[in-house]
Chains A and B, each alone.
Chain A
Amino acid sequence: NAGVTQTPKFQVLKTGQSMTLQCAQDMNHEYMSWYRQDPGMGLRLIHYSVGAGITDQGEVPNGYNVSRSTTEDFPLRLLSAAPSQTSVYFCASFHLSRGRNTEAFFGQGTRLTVV
């Protein structure tokens, strides 16, 4: 059982480059989200989706785009990478039960460095 799969695990970008972080889950979870983890900041929500075709912004959405065309996939796009986007990125998915999330399942993370 794969759970939540993130690719790539590591990436180095030059300032101004674009890239897409991939996230896929095989648990038929309605809710998917992207977090970034920075030292001393914990995990901060970037974008989230409560179902296919529905996305919304989290705490730190600037510089990132998302789309949710299928239940399984929730890619995160950096259109023009900046050094401030150097971070570890985690994708998470939840099952919604009676309108509430239950425990979140996280991917293994993508360590991104922007030089």
Chain B
Amino acid sequence: DQQVKQNSPSLSVQEGRISILNCDYTNSMFDYFLWYKKYPAEGPTFLISISSIKDKNEDGRFTVFLNKSAKHLSLHIVPSQPGDSAVYFCAATPGGANNLFFGTGTRLTVIP
């Protein structure tokens, strides 16, 4: 049973435009959320995170939004760059525990 879902397997965006990647979760115990980026033949790398006490966190071109009532989070990349082309994984962890639960990933392609 997938507790973290990324329903869009792929997304294509023009360079310079906004990329919006979505993630839904079912476990109301999740209180910390992370996004990872993965290039082919490499391990995932941490991108940005958000605690459930916040609804927004920014880091440069990357912003994560959390809507707890909808159990939904999104990652915005503005402006998108060709180097952002990768697979993006959403992950979540429940309070008091340390295991990460991952979504299935969204492959982002930024077209020059």
Please list the residues of chain A having a beta carbon within 8 angstroms of any beta carbon in chain B.
4, 6, 31, 33, 35, 40-45, 48, 50, 58, 90, 92, 94, 96, 99-101, 103-109
Contact = CB atoms under 8 A, between A and B. Distances in A.
Contact of B98 (A6, A43, A101, A107): A101
A100 B105 CA distance: 24
Contacts, number: 62
Q: Nearest 5 A-B pairs (CB), nearest first?
A: A106-B43, A103-B46, A42-B104, A43-B102, A42-B102
B42 A108 contact: yes
Interface residues of B, number: 25
Interface of B: 2, 4, 6, 9, 32, 34, 36, 41-46, 49, 89, 93, 96, 98-105
Q: Point out which of A6, A45, A100 has the most chain B C-beta atoms below 10 A from its C-beta.
A: A100
A45 B100 contact: yes
Secondary structure of the B contact surface, majority rule: loop
A40 B43 contact: no
